[in-house]
Chain A
Amino acid sequence: MASVDISSTESAAPESVIHPLWVRITHWINAVAILVMIGSGWQIYNASPLFPFTFPRSITLGGWLAGAIMWHFAAMWVLVINGIIYVTLGIVTGRFRRKLLPIYPSEVIAAVKAALSGRLAHDDLSVYNAVQRLLYLGVILAGVFVVLTGLSIWKPVQLQELTALFGGYDGARYLHFLAMSLIAGFIAIHVLMALLVPKSLRAMIRGK
């Protein structure tokens, strides 16, 4: 771990650190927490589905409603505390500003076209293309959204102003589901891209 320096500048040199240690740690803690939250959340959803489908039991967590609720309200602490640390460090170190901004619509469109024609370059992992910036910033916002809608379902009396903001208890349930769907959609693309560009997965484990 001697080569990992949290305060190091993230230059494009091949052997320098792409993801500092705090990014890697919070990333993988978040990955576990979000998998537990989604798996248990699907089981909770199945108890009173909002749409005419349920999630197959083989991909849900908790076994039954009480078990799923236990998992959900245990992992929420991990998700929220880890999320606060990640977002705080992302802002304070300037990483978010440096890596995720600016996002220009014209660059996003160009990057999507390049990706679809298989010409999107990943030579320099330390610089995110416009689609990556959009997705990474978007999933951070979706994470904030999923926590706020979740809080408003959990505490619709104590936090009733928040619940009202999301259209009341029932509205908040739909928005919580929407937030989950956005995150699940992100994970599907994110995992696929990591598998297509294995060195990006290695960078999130080893740092470079």
Chain B
Amino acid sequence: MARIHKPIPGVDKHLLIKDAAKLLPDPTRRLFLRGAGSLGALTFLTGCDIIDGDGAERVLRKISSFNDGAQALLFNPNRLAPTYPESMITRPFPFNAYYGLDEAPEVDGPSYKLQVGGLVDNKKSWTLQELYALPQEKQVTRHICVEGWSAIGSWTGTPLREFLRGIGADTRAKYVWFRCAEGYSTTIDMPTALHPQTQMTFKFDDKILPRAYGFPMKIRMPTKLGFKNPKYVMEMAVTNDDLGGYWEDQGYNWFSGL
């Protein structure tokens, strides 16, 4: 559990995560009982069982779900994330994951096939050659991490909504789920999947997506926090079931919209 957020050498110092191990949940501890100072005040003033770890966590998760709904209402499907000139691209762009770069998945390009499933008409798998032949767009947008730091990057690929229409996806379904090579996963809401800037990304900074940034395919969404932007995507499915995700299941807010 100690390996997390190992940056690539030469990354700007302010982008480094100072004490990354802290960010990981420790199953041996009760999640929300840390921080005696603030909680002491809370106990004093409420005098009830809200500070009970499990009870507090249950209430907080309910409020987090409520916040998903509030954010879905705030989400304007036509509102574009700000774009930036290429001169503002953060170089080098930080690598960030719950493992080090040397442990990042190494997906074999020639044998890669994107699996497509769920509520779609055409469930054929896609080779990289076929994917690269799709019309592509470039965006220079800000990647914002749940940790607070941000970095501007350049991503090129196919708008997800074009791909979903092409394969006859049921866009009235609620979710799109992504599974990644290392076992990572995430589920997003359909309005975000259909947002004009949500992209199946094949290039970073005009070059084929390097391993650090998710080769062979990343899903880029400038309207969501970084962890909702999966890398090394192997499979996607259109679904009416919320299949959760790696970080969402551990307590990060599900919608995490910007």
Q: Please give the residue numbers on chain A whose beta carbons come within 8 Å of chain B beta carbons, in ascending order.
A: 28, 31-32, 35-36, 38-40, 43-49, 54, 57-67, 69-71, 73-74, 77, 155-158, 160, 169-170, 173
CA distance A160 to B147 in the complex (A): 19
Task: Report whether B45 and A157 are in contact in the complex, using a CB–CB cutoff of 8 Å.
Answer: no
- Contacting residues, chain B, for A63 (C-beta < 8 A): 25-26, 29-35
Task: Report whether B144 and A65 are in contact in the complex, using a CB–CB cutoff of 8 Å.
Answer: no
Task: Report whether A66 and B252 are in contact in the complex, using a CB–CB cutoff of 8 Å.
Answer: yes
Task: Report whether A65 and B38 are in contact in the complex, using a CB–CB cutoff of 8 Å.
Answer: no
- Contacting residues, chain B, for A71 (C-beta < 8 A): 32, 60
Per-residue CB proximity of B134-167 to A under 8 Å, as 1/0?
0000000010111111100000000000000000
Task: Report whether B258 and A32 are in contact in the complex, using a CB–CB cutoff of 8 Å.
Answer: no
Give the distance to chain A from B215, nearest Cβ to Cβ, in Å: 26
- Contacting residues, chain B, for A48 (C-beta < 8 A): 17-18, 145, 147-149
Task: Report whether A69 and B45 are in contact in the complex, using a CB–CB cutoff of 8 Å.
Answer: no
Task: Report whether A67 and B19 are in contact in the complex, using a CB–CB cutoff of 8 Å.
Answer: no
B71-79, B117-125, B168-176 - interface stretch: B71-79
Number of chain B residues whose Cβ lies closer than 8 Å to a Cβ of chain A: 54
Within 8 Å of chain A (Cβ to Cβ): is B207?
A: no
- Contacting residues, chain A, for B79 (C-beta < 8 A): 157-158, 160
CA distance A148 to B176 in the complex (A): 32
8 example contacts (A-B, Cβ-Cβ < 8 A) are as follows: A32-B46, A43-B35, A46-B22, A59-B35, A62-B35, A63-B35, A156-B144, A170-B150
Task: Report whether A64 and B23 are in contact in the complex, using a CB–CB cutoff of 8 Å.
Answer: yes
CA distance A155 to B72 in the complex (A): 12
Within 8 Å of chain A (Cβ to Cβ): is B37?
A: yes
CA distance A64 to B74 in the complex (A): 27
Give the distance to chain B from A55, nearest Cβ to Cβ, in Å: 10
Within 8 Å of chain A (Cβ to Cβ): is B115?
A: no
Known: A46-B19, A64-B22. A157 touches B42 (CB 8 A): no
Residue of B25, B60, B74, B145 contacting most chain A CB atoms (<10 Å): B60
Residue among B29, B38, B64, B258 making CB contact with A39, cutoff 8 Å: B38
Task: Report whether A35 and B76 are in contact in the complex, using a CB–CB cutoff of 8 Å.
Answer: no
- Can you name the residue of chain B whose Cβ is closest to the Cβ of A164? B82
Q: Please give the residue numbers on chain B whose beta carbons come within 8 Å of chain A beta carbons, in ascending order.
A: 17-19, 22-26, 29-39, 41-42, 45-46, 57, 59-61, 63-64, 67, 74-76, 79-82, 142, 144-150, 222-223, 247, 250-253, 257-258
- Contacting residues, chain A, for B22 (C-beta < 8 A): 46-47, 57, 64-65
- Contacting residues, chain B, for A67 (C-beta < 8 A): 31-32, 34, 57, 60, 251
Give the distance to chain A from B88, nearest Cβ to Cβ, in Å: 11
Task: Report whether B45 and A32 are in contact in the complex, using a CB–CB cutoff of 8 Å.
Answer: yes
CA distance A173 to B251 in the complex (A): 23
- Contacting residues, chain B, for A170 (C-beta < 8 A): 150
Task: Report whether B45 and A70 are in contact in the complex, using a CB–CB cutoff of 8 Å.
Answer: no
Task: Report whether B60 and A74 are in contact in the complex, using a CB–CB cutoff of 8 Å.
Answer: yes
Task: Report whether B36 and A70 are in contact in the complex, using a CB–CB cutoff of 8 Å.
Answer: no
- Contacting residues, chain B, for A45 (C-beta < 8 A): 148
- Can you name the residue of chain B whose Cβ is closest to the Cβ of A70? B60
- Contacting residues, chain A, for B59 (C-beta < 8 A): 74
- Contacting residues, chain B, for A28 (C-beta < 8 A): 45
Task: Report whether B149 and A58 are in contact in the complex, using a CB–CB cutoff of 8 Å.
Answer: no
- Can you name the residue of chain A whose Cβ is closest to the Cβ of B76? A158
Task: Report whether A38 and B150 are in contact in the complex, using a CB–CB cutoff of 8 Å.
Answer: no
CA distance A60 to B36 in the complex (A): 8
CA distance A60 to B42 in the complex (A): 13
Task: Report whether B24 and A64 are in contact in the complex, using a CB–CB cutoff of 8 Å.
Answer: yes
Query: Contacts A36-B38, A39-B35, A39-B37 given; 7 further ones with Cβ under 8 A?
Result: A38-B38, A48-B148, A57-B35, A64-B24, A64-B34, A65-B23, A66-B250
Residue among A36, A49, A69, A173 making CB contact with B18, cutoff 8 Å: A49
CA distance A193 to B64 in the complex (A): 37
Known: A58-B37, A61-B39, A70-B251. A155 touches B32 (CB 8 A): no
- Contacting residues, chain A, for B75 (C-beta < 8 A): 158
- Contacting residues, chain B, for A31 (C-beta < 8 A): 41, 45
- Can you name the residue of chain A whose Cβ is closest to the Cβ of B80? A157
Task: Report whether B251 and A66 are in contact in the complex, using a CB–CB cutoff of 8 Å.
Answer: yes
